[in-house]
Copies of this chain bind each other. A is one copy, B any other.
């Protein structure tokens, strides 16, 4: 059922208020680490600190969020200073001697773990780009562009990174083009970069050609280099949240190109396929993993409900509705919005729980850890608010 004008107005206010009065106050200012820089984000339901280590992904994501709020919501000094705290910490502590970044560091920045991937780098690019815009720092803008160049190299040739597998069964994951689309879009929007348009087109084409399977109405998480489905546990495993994240990055690109109808259609196909496969008809909510042929998934937590796929579905279904006016996207948006704010949102302490059992009961209460922090939820609330403000 379509949304009325009043309902859209209410939604806009809801997201704005949740962001500014519920989500952000959970994290800031208490998470600013005035001693060592960066943020102390590994917190329990009531904000108690569970661990003073720092996850590099989340340091970058938080610095991005604060600078983005400064750029798009209000030029608050606290947000600019807060973003700088993260940028400085990332620059000072989170790069190894080979220019690759760490994944996990101690409170004082001592490195604990470096992984084989370059997601620390992509989140640092968007943080630096947003901060460079907010602060006007040409030096940081430059560094963002150089680091984006590194990401371009890695994404074009993953053999530059330490391998996890032998070369026997080569595969590629949707995560790389998906995250690179967003990284380039953020860079382009904040400080501009001439490499972005063409690169984004290439990644969208790769997703459409190799990962989106119209014959079986599915978006794969990983495929062979030529796009073939790999009929083993890992190759069959699909991730609705990732696919849907790609869908709204593609909608972003459609809007950038005057609502390009092909891209709108591609984003809608992804949503259609993955709503069908990802929505749990029995308990509601979005499954974490599924098997493309509905066989058992090896990953243990496959049917749990994690917070972030719900953020991605909330954004993508609202964008699809605003772009197409199709009532089914309003219905789906209502379903995932209602499920999420009923099950994940902590009415007492603010923010969302991260991890529910399949049946919607809370599996554990941490609001922040190595993988969760102030990113998917505030980004969703900010993005939906701003989208609804634009219409």
Q: Which A residues lie at the B interface, using CB under 8 A?
A: 42, 44, 50-51, 53, 106, 110-114, 164-166, 168-169, 232-233, 295-298, 300-304, 306, 355, 357-359, 363-366, 369-371
Evaluate contact between A304 and B298: CB separation under 8 angstroms: no
Evaluate contact between A357 and B357: CB separation under 8 angstroms: yes
User: Nearest-CB distance from A345 to chain B (Å)?
Assistant: 17
| A371 (CB) vs chain B CBs: closest residue | B298
Evaluate contact between A110 and B358: CB separation under 8 angstroms: no
| A235 (CB) vs chain B CBs: closest residue | B51
The CA of A368 and the CA of B233, in the complex, are separated in Å by 11
Evaluate contact between A110 and B298: CB separation under 8 angstroms: no
User: Inside 8 A of A296's CB, which chain B residues have their CB?
Assistant: 44, 50, 364-366, 369
| A114 (CB) vs chain B CBs: closest residue | B166
Beyond A42-B233, A50-B233, A357-B358, whether A298 also contacts B164 by CB under 8 A is: no
User: Inside 8 A of A298's CB, which chain B residues have their CB?
Assistant: 366, 369-371
Evaluate contact between B42 and A106: CB separation under 8 angstroms: no
User: Inside 8 A of A165's CB, which chain B residues have their CB?
Assistant: 112-113
User: Nearest-CB distance from A173 to chain B (Å)?
Assistant: 15
Evaluate contact between A301 and B303: CB separation under 8 angstroms: no
Q: Which 7 A-B pairs have the closest CB atoms?
A: A300-B301, A296-B366, A296-B364, A110-B168, A301-B301, A298-B369, A111-B166
| A113 (CB) vs chain B CBs: closest residue | B165
Evaluate contact between B363 and A300: CB separation under 8 angstroms: yes
24 A-B residue pairs with CB within 8 Å: A42-B233, A44-B295, A50-B295, A51-B233, A53-B232, A53-B233, A106-B168, A106-B169, A110-B168, A111-B168, A112-B165, A114-B166, A233-B369, A233-B370, A296-B364, A296-B365, A296-B366, A298-B371, A301-B301, A302-B363, A302-B364, A303-B363, A303-B364, A357-B359
User: Nearest-CB distance from A175 to chain B (Å)?
Assistant: 18
Beyond A364-B303, A369-B298, whether A166 also contacts B112 by CB under 8 A is: yes
User: Inside 8 A of A355's CB, which chain B residues have their CB?
Assistant: 300
The CA of A310 and the CA of B112, in the complex, are separated in Å by 34
Beyond A295-B50, A358-B357, whether A112 also contacts B363 by CB under 8 A is: no
